[in-house]
């Protein structure tokens, strides 16, 4: 499958009736000491607790699944989404996760009846173990962020934002392996200002921009189990470069502070990845002018 706007539109049709059209919520910018309009896209209300359900379900709906079912490696959210989608479609699932996975995500995974394997410390280790497991088995692998079917599923969020916030000019989103940010970039191109936010311990996009190509990074910190890819995927890299996406890097402390604001002032739970975009705004590391209308994607809430 080619990753383009047509693939995303087709994914939206395919996913109709399988996923939630998640709501949006306008925030009072003044309460956050921000001078611009800000709307939240509440994707943490999606099936399995994150945007990942879109890509997992889309991939399974357009893939021939073998007798041994589906396999995936994940820091937690993609695995939960694949397990949810596989159970919904009555396929067996084997999910490989690294030891940095949060206890909450591990329990959620098990609740979807998947066979869960803890392998290594980082996502990359789990991916290697998953691919070794596929040898001699009739199963299909769903990559967490560098597979066109997965990224096009994530890109359907952009179509919903177009319908729900038609005057949006700017979108702020977390970036790990680049699946979500790449899906949005594929749909909008340069028609919107796209700000991709990462933590200091997960900056695949920032390091790739500096190097001019995807490079390996050391993974660490608060968001390691959700943004902890070792390098940005090729699909995400190409889409973000083409859309002229911006790069912002925030600290773990700034992310934790943003999580606290979302929870205490607005009653919105978020995991570190879900709060990274707000951290960029509250820290002043990125800004939106008064004439812009920003949309912040709360991509998940599967925290401890």
Cα dihedral 200→119→83→51 (10° resolution): 10
Domain range for residue 210? 5-51+147-298
Residues 248, 278, single domain; the answer is yes
Instruction: Give yes or no: residues 259 and 152 share one domain.
Output: yes
Residue 122 confidence (pLDDT): 84
Residue indicated by tokens 């995927």: 233
Mean pLDDT of the chain: 93
Residues 18 and 99 in one domain: no
pLDDT band at 29 (very low <50, low <70, confident <90, very high): low
pLDDT at residue number 74: 87
Q: Are residues 131 and 247 in the same domain?
A: no
Tens-place pLDDT, residues 264-280: 989 999 999 999 999 99
Q: Which of 90, 122, 141 is the last residue of a domain?
A: 141
Asked whether residue 30 carries a pLDDT value surpassing 90, the answer given is no
Full DSSP string of 108-154 = HHHHTT-EEEE-SSSHHHHHHHHHHHTTT---EE--SSS-HHHHHHH
Residue 109: inside a domain, yes or no? Answer: yes
What's the rounded mean pLDDT across residues 253-264? 95
Alpha-carbon gap, residue 193 to 239, rounded angstroms: 13
Residues 6+ positions from 26 with CB-CB distance below 8 Å: 37, 38, 39, 40
Q: Please tell me the predicted confidence (pLDDT) of residue 153.
A: 98
Q: Are residues 107 and 214 in the same domain?
A: no
**Does residue 202 contact residue 224 with C-beta atoms inside 8 Å?**
yes
- In 3D space, the residue among 19, 11, 20, 14 whose CA is nearest the CA of residue 150 turns out to be 11
Q: 257 with 164, same domain?
A: yes
Q: Is the pLDDT of residue 304 over 60?
A: no
The pLDDT tens digits for 129-185 are 999 999 999 999 999 999 999 999 999 999 999 999 999 999 999 999 999 999 999
- Is residue 304 a part of any domain in this protein? no
Domain assignment present for 36:
yes
- CA 200, chain centre distance (Å): 17
Into how many domains does the chain fold? 2
Q: Are residues 45 and 89 in the same domain?
A: no
Residues 94-102 have a mean pLDDT of 89
pLDDT at 35: 67
Can you give the pTM of this predicted structure? 0.94
Q: Is residue 241 part of a domain?
A: yes
281-293 pLDDT, tens digit per residue, is 999 999 999 899 9
């Amino acid at each position: 499958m080619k990753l383009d706007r047509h693939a995303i539109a087709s994914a939206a049709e395919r996913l109709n009736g399988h996923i939630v059209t998640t709501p949006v919520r306008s925030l009072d910018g003044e309460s956050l000491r921000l001078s611009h309009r800000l709307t939240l896209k509440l994707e943490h209300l999606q099936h399995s607790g994150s945007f990942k359900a879109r890509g997992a379900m889309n991939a399974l709906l357009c893939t021939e699944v073998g007798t041994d079912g589906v396999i995936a490696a994940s820091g937690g959210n993609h695995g939960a989404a694949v397990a949810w989608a596989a159970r919904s479609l009555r396929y067996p699932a084997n999910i490989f996760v690294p030891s940095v996975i949060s206890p909450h995500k591990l329990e959620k995974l098990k609740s979807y009846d998947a066979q869960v394997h803890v392998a290594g410390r980082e996502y990359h280790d789990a991916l290697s173990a998953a691919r070794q497991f596929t040898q001699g088995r009739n199963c299909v692998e769903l990559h967490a962020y560098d597979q066109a079917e997965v990224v096009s599923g994530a890109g359907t969020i952009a179509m919903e934002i177009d319908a729900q916030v038609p005057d949006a000019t700017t979108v702020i989103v977390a970036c790990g392996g680049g699946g979500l940010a790449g899906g949005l970039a594929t749909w909008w191109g340069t028609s919107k200002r796209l700000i991709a936010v990462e933590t200091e311990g997960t900056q695949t996009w920032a390091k790739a921009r500096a190097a001019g190509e995807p490079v390996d990074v050391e993974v660490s910190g608060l968001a390691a189990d959700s943004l902890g890819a070792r390098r940005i995927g090729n699909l995400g890299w190409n889409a973000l470069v083409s859309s002229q996406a911006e790069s912002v890097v925030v600290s773990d402390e700034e992310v934790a502070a943003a999580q606290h604001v979302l929870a205490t002032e607005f009653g919105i739970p978020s995991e570190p990845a879900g709060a990274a975009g707000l951290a960029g705004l509250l820290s002043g590391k990125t800004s939106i002018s008064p004439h812009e209308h920003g949309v912040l994607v709360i991509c998940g809430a599967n925290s401890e």
